Amino acid sequence: QKEVEQNSGPLSVPEGAIASLNCTYSDRGSQSFFWYRQYSGKSPELIMSIYSNGDKEDGRFTAQLNKASQYVSLLIRDSQPSDSATYLCAVTVSDTGRRALTFGSGTRLQVQP
Amino acid sequence: SAVISQKPSRDICQRGTSLTIQCQVDSQVTMMFWYRQQPGQSLTLIATANQGSEATYESGFVIDKFPISRPNLTFSTLTVSNMSPEDSSIYLCSVEGGEGSTDTQYFGPGTRLTVL
């Protein structure tokens, strides 16, 4: 079983719609959760971090975390064609002293103009 | 967040040769990480590099193949040794730090390696 799972997509939404990206993780001890955006040929760019249950909003982006269900999601409101990219979910595994990120395989988002 | 640069940005190498990738950060950081992203895949951690200690390698990665140096708090190198076409990937360094959290990681621009 993969430690971090994402639907690979592509997820296609019309411009102006809400895009919903989902991620599940297997390690119940995971403490830190991140969403990165990666444009083709570029390195990952941090969008959001979330550490506690509930919602965290930053502009058009909302991250949602449910530790009981081992589920983290990213909502993008008013989607724009410039949001078209691969979105990577990442978590820190809870091993003592090990703060490296474990990534999901990414979801490719296409925003249609 | 820290500004991270990598050299080279890309290279094409022959089978059996080695390439050293440099990662430079504009501020002192404790932990640096090296990741590999194979074509069409997500990121996989190669190793964690702390200044003054041996790098810690993930399962499937060994020091003889991917030796790492960390001579100071702003610089690290990753060498890909005795390359084969399977080593063709993007290699990324990352560092921890930034406002509000010490475990948020920021990535360098990456080194795109093609092995013929």
According to the 3-state scheme, what is the secondary structure of A19-55?
EEEEEEECCCCCCEEEEEEECCCCCCEEEEEECCCEE
Per-residue confidence (pLDDT) for residue A27, from 0 to 100? 87
As a whole number of angstroms, the distance between CA A94 and CA B92 comes to 23
Q: Which of residues 21-80 of B touch A (CB under 8 A)?
A: 31, 33, 41-45, 48, 56, 58
Q: What is the CA radius of gyration of chain B?
A: 13
Residue B99 in this model has a pLDDT that exceeds 60: no
Tens of pLDDT, residues A72-102: 999 999 999 999 999 999 998 755 566 778 9
Torsion angle of C-alpha atoms B8, B14, B17, B22, degrees rounded to 10: 10
Residue B95 in this model has a pLDDT that exceeds 70: yes
Selected residue with higher pLDDT from B46 and B52: B46
Per-residue confidence (pLDDT) for residue A97, from 0 to 100? 60
> Is B99 touching A (CB cutoff 8 A)?
no
Contact flag A88-B42 (C-beta cutoff 8 Å):
yes
Helices (H) and strands (E) in chain A, counts: 0, 11
Share of chain A above pLDDT 70, in %: 93
**Chain A residues inside the 8 Å CB shell of B58:** 100
The DSSP output letter for B45 is: E
As a whole number of angstroms, the distance between CA B2 and CA B98 comes to 7
CA distances from B60 to A5, A92, B44, B100, B103 (A): 21, 19, 10, 33, 24
Tens of pLDDT, residues B1-28: 789 999 999 999 999 999 999 999 999 9
> Is B91 touching A (CB cutoff 8 A)?
no
**Chain B residues inside the 8 Å CB shell of A42:** 109-110
The answer to whether B108 and B8 have CB atoms below 8 angstroms apart is no
> Is B5 touching A (CB cutoff 8 A)?
no
Shortest distance between the Cα of B73 and any Cα of chain A, in A, equals 17
The answer to whether A60 and A47 have CB atoms below 8 angstroms apart is no
Taking one residue from A and the other from B, the number of pairs with CB-CB distance under 8 angstroms is 50
Residue B62 in this model has a pLDDT that exceeds 60: yes
Shortest distance between the Cα of B108 and any Cα of chain A, in A, equals 7
Per-residue confidence (pLDDT) for residue A1, from 0 to 100? 57
The answer to whether B76 and B68 have CB atoms below 8 angstroms apart is yes
Q: Give the pair of three-digit tokens for residue A66.
A: 């449910």
CA distances from A31 to A1, A70, A97, A100, B40 (A): 19, 11, 13, 12, 28
Rounded mean pLDDT, B85-94: 97
Rounded mean pLDDT, B33-45: 93
CA distances from A113 to A39, B7, B83 (A): 18, 37, 43
Write out the E strands in chain B: 4-7, 10-13, 19-25, 31-37, 43-50, 56-57, 68-72, 75-80, 89-96, 105-107, 111-115
Shortest distance between the Cα of B12 and any Cα of chain A, in A, equals 16
Half-sphere exposure of A6 (CA within 13 A, CB side): 29
